[in-house]
Structure 1
Amino acid sequence: MAEYSHVKSTKLVLKGHNKGKKKKNKDRKRKANDEDKLDIVGGWWSVSGFGEITGTVAIEMQNNAYIHAMDTGLFTLGAPHQDDEGPDPPEQFTAVKLTDSRIALKSGYGKYLGINSEGVVVGRSDAIGAREQWEPVFQSGKMALMAANSCFISYSDSGDIVAKNKAAGDDEMVKIRTSTEREVKHNDDIADEDRGNVKSCEVNYVKKFQSFQDRRLRVNEGDSSSLKRARTDGKFHEALLDRRSKMKADRYCK
C-alpha cells in the first residue's frame, strides 16, 4: 500500500459551480443516480473491491484492451474492443481466492499466471506457488495488481506483460472485470420485498399478501415486461397490485 500511495488523486472541479441556494432533494437524487452508474462493457462490470473478484474475470489495461494469453505461456495486450464488446476467450481468466487479500489467476490453457525471475508474467504452472499469487490494491477509486515480487503489472515496450515497477503510476492502473452476476448493495430504506429483479419482487409481494387458502403460491404468469417499465416510471407497486388482482388470491385485491 505504501508504494501505491505514490498515485496522486485530485478533486474534480466542476465548471460553473456556484454557491447559491441548492435544491436538496434534486441534489440528493442526482447523487444517488451517479452512485448507481456502473462501469459495464459488454456485460462485464468493473470490480471496486476485493470481495467482488470471483468467477471468470478479465484484466483491462487500457480502454477496452485486455491482457491476452498466448499458447507460448506468455501474455500480451490484446487488440482494443468496441464499446459494447466484452473480452475474447484468451482474455478471460478464472479467479481463485487464496486469502483475504490475494488471488490466483488461471488462464484458458489451464495454467496459473505467475512471474519469472525477470519479472515477466508467464502462465506455465499447473499449481499455485508463491510466484502465482497476486494482490489487487484499491485506492481512490483506482486499482493496480501487485505480483509476488511486490511490483505492479504493466505493458512493456517489448509487448510483454511484466511486473517490474514498485510504484503504481498511470501505466500500472488496471481494471478487473467480471461477468459474474453482481450482488447489488441496497440502502436501508429499501424494503426487502423490493430487492432483486421484477420477477423476484413480484414473488415476494405474492408471498406477503396472498391468502394461501389452499397453500399454493399463485403468481401471474403473464408477460412481466410491463413491470420493468412501471419500475422505471415509479408505478411499480401499482402494477404489482394490478397483476395480483387478476389472480383473485390476494387479501387486498378482493
Structure 2
Amino acid sequence: MADAPKKSKGKLIFKGDKEHKKKKRKRPEAKDQGHEGGGSDEGWVRADELDDLVGPLFITHPSDPPICFTVDDDDRLLAYPIPEQSQTEPLIVNQVFVGARLIGTSNTFTFKSSNGKYLSSDKFGVVSADREAISGLEEWEPTLTEAGFAFKNTHGKFLMADEIAGGGFKIRADSEDVGFCETFRIYCQARFKLKAKRDKKKSKKEGSSTNELENVKRYQSWGGGRLHMSREDKRKLKEAREEGRVAEAMLDRRAKVKSDRYCK
C-alpha cells in the first residue's frame, strides 16, 4: 500500500520530496515614522500657505531687532523683541496664538491668544487682544506674499509693525498698501502642517467621484447605488473643481442622468 501523503502546516509533502531549508532573511531597519513622507512632526516650521494658519501660531516680524506678538496677563498686545536663540519658535505660551478659519469662508481667519481673547482692530487701526467674542472686528483676511503673510482687517486696512520714536515697535492696522512693515513671518507646529498636507493629498486623490458617489447613495432611487461616470465626466468634474464650481457641475450632472429628482 502506498504511503499516504504527509501534511505539514497546510502544505502537502510526498515521499521522496526533498525538504528545502528556509533561508533566514535580514529584516530591514525600521524607518522613523515621524520622518516618513518628508520632515519631522515635531517642533515649529515656517507657514507657507493659508492652511498652515489653522492651529497654534508664532507670529513674528523681520524687523531690527525681530519682534513677535506677545500678550501679557492684562491682555495687552506687545511687540516683543525675539532673542537670537529663539527666532522660529515661542519661548512662552503668551507668544502663541491659535488660528481658525471662519466657518463658511475660505480665507477669513480669527486669531485667539493664550488668554482666550481674540486679536481685533477698530476703524482707527487700533489693534488689541482683549475681545472675548467674534465680530467683524476680529476677522482677518491673510494674503500670501513672497516674504510671508499680510493681514487685512474688516475695514480694508493692513496690519503693520510700526517703529516708534525712541526705539521699539507698535502693532497697528491702518496701512493702505503691503510692504516690508506689513509682511509677517508665521511659524506653525509641524504636526499640524503635515496633517493638513495629508488631508489635502487624500482629498485630491479621492476627487469628485467620491463626492458624487455619496450623493448617488443618498438620493438615487434606481441602479442600486451604482456610479455611472465616464472618462469625459471625470474630466469635466476635475475642471469644475479647479475653477471652483464643482457643486454646480455635480448638480448639472445629476439632472442629466436623472439620479436626483430634487435637483431640477
Q: TM-score, normalised by structure 2?
A: 0.50
How far off its partner does 1:180 sit? 4.4
| Cα 1:155/1:139, change in 2 over 3 Å | closer
| Distance in 2 between residues matched to 1:160 and 1:152, nearest whole Å | 14
Inter-CA distance 157–82: structure 2 relative to 1 (3 Å threshold)? closer
- Label 1:79 to 1:140 Cα distance change in 2 as closer, same or farther (>3 A): closer
TM-fit CA distance, 1:81: 2.4
Equivalences for 1:1-254 in 2 at 5 Å?
A: 43-62=43-62, 64-84=66-86, 86-87=89-90, 88-98=92-102, 99-140=105-146, 142-158=148-164, 159-181=169-191, 182-183=193-194
In structure 1, runs of 5+ residues without a counterpart are 1-35, 189-254
Deviation at 1:141, TM superposition (A): 5.0
What is the SS of the residue equivalent to 1:105?
strand
Aligned counterparts of 1:37 and 1:166: Cα–Cα separation in 2: 38
* Equivalent pair of 2:150/2:178 in contact (CA under 8 Å): yes
Q: CA offsets per residue over residues 35-68 of structure 1, 9 Å max, x none?
A: x899xxx922111111121211111112652111
Task: Count residues in correspondence.
Answer: 151
TM-score (norm 1): 0.52
Larger-gyration structure (1/2): 2
RMSD between aligned residues = 3.0
Distance 1:167 1:134, change over 3 A: same
Given residue 125 of structure 1, which amino acid in structure 2 is its aligned partner?
R
Q: Sequence identity, in percent? A: 21
- SS of match in other structure, 1:118: coil
Q: Which range moved further: 55-64 or 93-102?
A: 55-64
Looking at structure 1, the residues matched to 148 and 55 of structure 2 have their Cα atoms a distance apart, in angstroms, of 21
> Segments of 4+ in structure 1 off by > 6 A?
none
Q: Structure 1 residue 134: deviation in Å?
A: 0.8
- Provide the C-alpha distance between the structure 1 equivalents of 2:184 and 2:163, rounded to a whole number of angstroms: 17
- Native 8 Å contact 1:152 1:166 kept in 2: yes
Q: Secondary structure at the match of 2:81?
A: coil
Q: Deviations over 1:187-245 (max 9, x none)?
A: x9xxxxxxxxxxxxxxxxxxxxxxxxxxxxxxxxxxxxxxxxxxxxxxxxxxxxxxxxx
5+ residue gaps in structure 2? Answer: 1-37, 202-264
Q: Does structure 1 conserve the Cα–Cα contact (< 8 Å) formed by 2:59 and 2:184?
A: yes
In 2 relative to 1, CA 107–67 (structure 1 residues): closer, same or farther, beyond 3 Å? same
Q: Contact between 1:113 and 1:123, CA under 8 Å: does it hold in 2? A: yes
One-letter amino acid matched to 1:62: P
